[in-house]
Amino acid sequence: MPDLYRIPPLSFDSDLVATLFEIERLRADIGTGDTPRDTFAELQLLFDTVMSVVSARIEGNHTTVFEALDHAGGEPADATDEKLREITNIVSAARYLDSLDPAEPLTHLLIRDLHARTVAGLTTEGDPTPGAYRKVDVAIRGSAHRPPSSPLVHAEMSSLLDFANAERPLHEQMMQIALAHHRFVWIHPFRNGNGRVSRLLTYAMLRRTIFATRGFSAVNPTAVFGNDRGAYISALESADTLSDDGTIAWASFFVRGIRDDIARLVRLQDRLHVIEALVGPSLDRLLRDGQVTADEHRVLHRVLDLGTVKAGDLSDVAPGSASTRSRLIRDLLDRRLLRHSSEGPRFYRLSISQGPLAPRIIRQLDVLGYLPKMLSED
């Protein structure tokens, strides 16, 4: 059998190498923007939900982004709704990864834990042994590939984790992540949920490589997996032969998507772009939809301009007594238009990832071309 983890030789003038150079150029811009950190963190949480919908949709779940947003940050209103639970499981697993030190190595325990979190409470899209490698041989529906026999799974996963944890020079890190993603799916270590866990593995590897020293959360890939489900599956299958040509075809598909996602991330670090092209128009839509008054609209725009505010920062756009402003702020907090800032209980910022503003930002992201094609009909 060929070496599963040999990075194939690349032609210097190939499109793949050109894309890898683009990623290196974009990588230098990560963390250099002036979007307030709280605002950027909220946008990242919003993309967590988008990516979780994409990951589930690849597996046949047709829950919309807007349905998922209604339940973001909590249990589905209907505990029997498996499709919503599948989404909330993926969101929860991604946010769990964000709580970990990205420098820590990827382990069997972490992979099995991600699987348990992903399939928790599910039947149709669950697994009879959550958090455990399969003990039976399996076939992949619609694929000619036959995963390794069950007695080999733990050893194969050990080799994969050794490869994923190995220190690689910068110019090889994207190839390392692309190979690890495919080889995980090729091993198919669980009876069900492998696709969802493979995409979480990719996110974990991005956190510990190209984003490790940038001070910003990693991009949770959407362009790689969400622009065209058929192209994603076809690109993965091209690498099933383990040939250099097949591996390069998959890696080319993968790195193009990562390049597009990092370019999106860099644009979201531009404060003026976020204010003028994304959140500002979304606030204006709130006003047009009758969700806020003109006075509230001015207040929310002031918060957007400043990023984080105290009550006194609103005195000219919310005239009146201090107690009047306090009541206004409490009302906006109750309606999930504002939320407390990380700076303290008397500091406030826009609620971007939840509440009435979130679906309008999603619509504006679609207008700007930020959402994957898979979600275009939502």
What pLDDT, in 10s, does the model give residues 312-369? Answer: 999 999 888 889 999 999 999 999 999 998 888 889 999 998 899 999 999 999 999 8
pLDDT value at position 72?
64
* Range from 37-41, 55-59, 256-260, 295-299 carrying the lowest mean pLDDT: 37-41
Q: Alpha carbon 179 to chain centroid distance?
A: 19
pLDDT value at position 265?
86
Enumerate long-range contacts of 294-297, CB under 8 Å, 24 or more apart: 296/328, 296/332, 296/337
pLDDT value at position 1?
65
Return the higher-pLDDT residue of 157 and 44: 157
Q: Domain ranges for the chain, please list them.
A: 27-268, 271-375
pLDDT value at position 31?
80
Work out the pLDDT band at 21, boundaries 50, 70, 90: very high
Most confident of 72-76, 87-91, 160-164: 160-164
pTM equals 0.88
CATH topology of domain 271-375: Arc Repressor Mutant, subunit A (1.10.10)
Superfamily of domain 27-268: Fido-like domain (1.10.3290.10)
| Whole-number CA gyration radius for the chain | 22
Q: Rounded distance, CA 138 to CA 350, Å?
A: 48
Instruction: Compute the C-alpha angle 286/291/295, nearest 5°.
Output: 85
> Mean pLDDT of all residues in the chain?
90
